[in-house]
Structure 1
Amino acid sequence: MANGDDEKRATTKAITQMGDAVWIGQELDKTHRPKPQWTLIALTGILMGIGMLVHYFIDTAESSHYTFSPLPFIVAWVLFVACYFIDFSVFGRYPLQFYMATLILSIAGISLSTATYYGQAFWVLGPFSISFAYLSLLFPVAFALLVYAMRSRGYWGILLSGIGFFPLAIILLMTPTLVGFVSYTLSALCVLCFAISRGWFKVHKTRGLLLVLLPTFTTLTFSLLFLAQYYTQRFWSFFHPDQNPFGTGYVYNLIRDFLSQAQFFGQGDFPESGVVPASLPFIKTVYPLTFLAHQFGVVFLAVIIVFLAIFAVFSLYKAWKEKSVLGALIALSIALTFILQCTFYLAANLGYGLIAPLSLPFISYGKSALFLNAALTGFMLSIFRTGEAYEEHQITSRRELAFISYKDGTLSIRLKG
């Protein structure tokens, strides 16, 4: 219109040059349309199906006080689907609030714990019991949110993230759960180093990593030396179980004997000691894969490991490629939690578990672990589904701001330096 066209002609020219707003909006919707994660959804369903079979085989192969029911897996699948459609951006708006809520509720829960079993704190609600060891499944996500909130604060942000690690770690030591503490520590370390390596703290990457790794490895060295005084016999039995057959080496010997007698397919032979598989301690909670490998063949164990490995690799790869900062940090924390659970559990069932495992996602006994893993997995897939369309909102420091002015119809932007 400034060039002399009337409003109608000017509107036509503007649409010709810039495009119709409705059509452009529709095309942008197609570009940012959520991407269903069919591969990981299918793998989740397969793993839950394997879990149902494992429960059924163990409950029917030997006399058991457990009663097989598919209901927990149905509830877990409903939780998975519900979390799959959750908008994860809400955590980006209140990251510190979620971290503090996790911390306060955990402290309150442990303070109100009503029972202990093998030294671990439980919350008993009628016929149901919840172990606080499973807090280690949630703490990596809480720590990832803390890192997300601190990412714009430079070296101070790294230090504050490190300080924020300790309250949750202390809670796990109070529970107590050694495997939970180790899993949370490794996940938190990887998440923090990942954020530094991506430049999200806006510091020199090498210096930032040294700021984290040097005190971590120093503390780890002294901790191992301290623990070695109390776990010398356990370490020795781990490498030489035959020299302590009636002590800490008993379980190691049983597991390795059963696996050595296992067949590729079908029931294996019994060890020379004549011990039956049902005599293995915690066979339905900690060592079900050892039992299944001996009863049905190593091929059964191999199939489970393959599906777990495929799921872990896909999850880790997609978390690594996630574009949004919030999505990448949370997805990585969940993927690492899944991988560490599987690693410790499989090591124990192969006779090389130095510490007792927590759970095997979707497969091992324990409704609490099943529900938490289902919810976390659904939430991770929600990030993969819509993460590309998430818009980051980061508070920048004063020295990063541009100088913006508007005068006489002219917008001026001058970057500092």
Structure 2
Amino acid sequence: MQSFELIKEYCNKVCEQIRWKKAKPIIIAEVENHLYDQRDAYMASGDDENAATQKAIVQMGDAIFLGQELDKTHKPRPQWFMIALTGIFMIIGLFINYYINASTESKGTFSILSYIFAFGIFVCCYYIDFTVLGKHAMKIYLFILTVSIVGVLFCPRVNGRQIWIMGMFSISLTYLSLVFPLAFSLFVYSMREKGIRGILMSGLAYLPLAFLLTVVPTISGLILYTISAFTILIFSICRGWFGVNKKHGLLLVFIPTVIMLTVSCFFIVHRMWNRISVFLNPEQARQEAGYQYCLIRDFITEAVFWGKGGVSEIFGDITALPNVNTDYPLVYLIHQFGFVVLLFITLLVVIFSIIGIYKALREKSILGSLVALTIILTFTLQSISFIIDNLGYGLISGLSLPFISYGNTALFLNAALIGFMLSIFRTGEIVVDRCSETKISKGNQSIFSYEDGKIIINLNTNHS
């Protein structure tokens, strides 16, 4: 039997023990590479091809035992804890929206079907092979850009914001900012290993999406997108994914970013000066522009740690707060049940964010790491801005509190994003980006690793 047939037969026996089908091609490639390298080493020592192959197979060990060991270490990693946290967020959101809807004059807005549908989206994205995002990275970016341009050009304005009306449903284009960071990260992924040109192209790819958010308009969405994009680009440069000198790459990003932010801050401050002055001292315009700030802060002041807060002497009942079920559910809950609700929700957000960031940074593939980091940043920034706004200290309005604040568009988008992120954590181990292979040998073990996305296989050669 020829050398390659012996190796192929051995690899097939190994993979017969592997239950995770998606892992089999990578394991076969790893085992084959190891066997060919060992065979070549024996041939260099003077053995003929068949003898060298037999020795390499013997050194590798029993195929069935090796396959069983690899099967133990290479299987999907269900994200039960983060799934449970996501479920808790949805249950809290379900309860909050039902309670507020039943307690205020906003009846008719609550529907349990929205949460059922959102959970279905979450489950679908959790089981989808997330590598489809990498295979069509540029197409997805262009698709999102095209759809957004069409929306901005043809959607009508309602209360100063553009709304996409589809029959009985309407979607605020404000929520485009939730998918723009993902689109940008996929563009960055498509530019990997392209050096300075890749960094420059990524910088240019940021601009059209940012411009669309200024047209919508949504300053909170623009800030979320800008922070996410800047973090993603810096992270990619620091990881060496563009293949350039890190200092040069960082300077290439920081210099135009500082200039752009300086100019942008000047225009924002100029445009929002009245709002900033009211934010700093809302009492001076209590019955005008400062009304909302004073209203929220008065109700927060009347709240207690546990139980229902007092009635505001100036504004009366909590139902006086406009859009309480959509924009200020936390104010309502704090006033009705106490600060303990805020502490509990904040704790859940912190735990979810820390675990998400930790897992994203540990992903071995470029695609998995970029997409996961982007999604958890989107989740965290949304939560922070929304909580600050609900405490009466938000200079800009928060977009949403994922899964908790009212709004089907944000609910569905966040469900899809978190589903994709957990899909990465579940199967990211076997995703290997195109890159060069690095082989490390130590004693009687062989460890295969990659510069980027890798699957490490420890092959103990003591077994016969």
Work out which of the residue numbers 179, 185, 189 in structure 1 matches 2:226: 185
Cα 1:264–1:325 change in 2 (3 A) is same
Letter in 1 for 2:371: I
Corresponding residue for residue 264 of structure 1 = 305
Letter in 2 for 1:372: L
Corresponding residue for residue 105 of structure 2 = 63
Quote the Cα distance in structure 2 between the aligned partners of 1:389 and 1:283: 46
SS of residue matched to 1:229:
helix
Cα deviation for residue 98 of structure 1 reads: 1.6
Cα deviation for residue 251 of structure 1 reads: 0.7
Cα deviation for residue 69 of structure 1 reads: 2.6
Cα 1:205–1:11 change in 2 (3 A) is closer
Work out which of the residue numbers 81, 93, 102 in structure 2 matches 1:39: 81
2:164 pairs with 1:123: yes
Corresponding residue for residue 370 of structure 2 = 329
Corresponding residue for residue 354 of structure 2 = 313
Work out which of the residue numbers 128, 139, 148 in structure 2 matches 1:106: 148
Quote the Cα distance in structure 2 between the aligned partners of 1:88 and 1:313: 22
Quote the Cα distance in structure 2 between the aligned partners of 1:129 and 1:22: 58
2:382 pairs with 1:341: yes
Q: Give identity over the alignment, percent.
A: 51
Cα deviation for residue 108 of structure 1 reads: 2.2
Letter in 2 for 1:144: S
Detail structure 1 runs of 4+ shifted over 6 Å in the superposition.
1-5, 9-14
Work out which of the residue numbers 83, 86, 90 in structure 1 matches 2:125: 83
Quote the Cα distance in structure 2 between the aligned partners of 1:359 and 1:136: 11
SS of residue matched to 2:286:
coil
Quote the Cα distance in structure 2 between the aligned partners of 1:26 and 1:98: 39
2:363 pairs with 1:363: no
Letter in 1 for 2:344: V
Cα 1:169–1:261 change in 2 (3 A) is same
RMSD over equivalenced CA pairs, Å: 2.2
Corresponding residue for residue 399 of structure 1 = none
Corresponding residue for residue 354 of structure 1 = 395
Quote the Cα distance in structure 1 between the aligned partners of 2:413 and 2:337: 29
2:440 pairs with 1:391: no
After the TM superposition, which residues 151-300 of structure 1 pair with which residues of structure 2 at under 5 Å, given as runs? 151-300=192-341
User: 1:137-182 CA deviation, whole Å, 9 max, x = no partner?
Assistant: 1111111111111121111111110001111111111222111111
2:78 pairs with 1:30: no
SS of residue matched to 2:77:
coil
Quote the Cα distance in structure 2 between the aligned partners of 1:4 and 1:55: 75
Aligned 8 A contact 2:106 2:325 in 1:
no
Cα 1:12–1:216 change in 2 (3 A) is closer
Corresponding residue for residue 405 of structure 1 = none
Structure 1: where are the runs of 5+ without partners? 397-417
Structure 2: where are the runs of 5+ without partners? 2-42, 437-464
TM-score calculated relative to the size of structure 1: 0.89
Quote the Cα distance in structure 2 between the aligned partners of 1:63 and 1:179: 28
Quote the Cα distance in structure 1 between the aligned partners of 2:242 and 2:336: 52
Cα 1:26–1:228 change in 2 (3 A) is same
SS of residue matched to 1:327:
helix
Aligned 8 A contact 2:122 2:418 in 1:
yes
2:421 pairs with 1:377: no
SS of residue matched to 1:130:
strand
Letter in 1 for 2:253: V
